[in-house]
Amino acid sequence: MSDLSRHLPLSNRERVDESTVTGDWREALADVVLLAAPLIASPDDATRFLADAGLDATPPLAEVAADIRAGRRRRIRSLVDATRALLALADDRPVDLPATVSGAVALYAVTRMPFDRRAAVSGATLVAQDSGWSLGRGPARPASARDILTFVLGLGDTVPGTSPGREL
């Protein structure tokens, strides 16, 4: 019977070490908080970021990040909220999100988008050219991870991987 399992659909993928896989997003959440720190221009920015991120804390952000790392388990929803707050804070400024974070946030967000957004990307694969992940099935729509996140998080209306100017 054990020989049969290698013929099942998900059994033929390459074996990799998955010992670090977890549902606890504390480390990633703390990293997102630290990515926001250099973008903060005023105490109001810090307060707004923390509120938008759903973090019941007060600045400085380095202490908030340390408390998150030492604190209770965090779910993906907390990471999604913090990433949305980070991208809103950053506006047009660059943000260096790790591929694991951007991919996890995009995967979570794409399953919870409003119908009009889901319809705009249905039947296509959103390919994050700069992060090595993709979402969906169908013809590839290459875009930056940031552009994909901006769309799936509802921060912008430009459909990723389409001709410039195509919006919802």
pLDDT higher at 15 or 128? 128
> What are residue 128's DSSP bridge partners?
133, 143
Strands 140-143 and 125-128: parallel
Give me the pLDDT at residue 159, please: 93
The answer to whether residue 16 scores a pLDDT higher than 60 is yes
First to last CA, the chain: 51
Amino acid letter, 125: T
Whether the pLDDT of residue 10 is over 80: the answer is no
Mean pLDDT of the chain, nearest integer: 90
Contacts of 61 (CB under 8 A, 6+ apart): 33, 34, 36, 37, 40, 46, 49, 50
Q: pLDDT of 81-118, one tens digit each? A: 999 999 999 999 999 999 999 999 999 999 999 999 99
Residues 110, 150 contacting (CB under 8 angstroms): no
Q: What is the CA radius of gyration of the chain?
A: 18
pTM for the whole structure: 0.86
The whole-angstrom separation of Cα 14 and Cα 127 is: 21
The model's pLDDT over 58-74, given as tens digits with 9 standing for 90+, comes to: 878 999 999 999 999 99
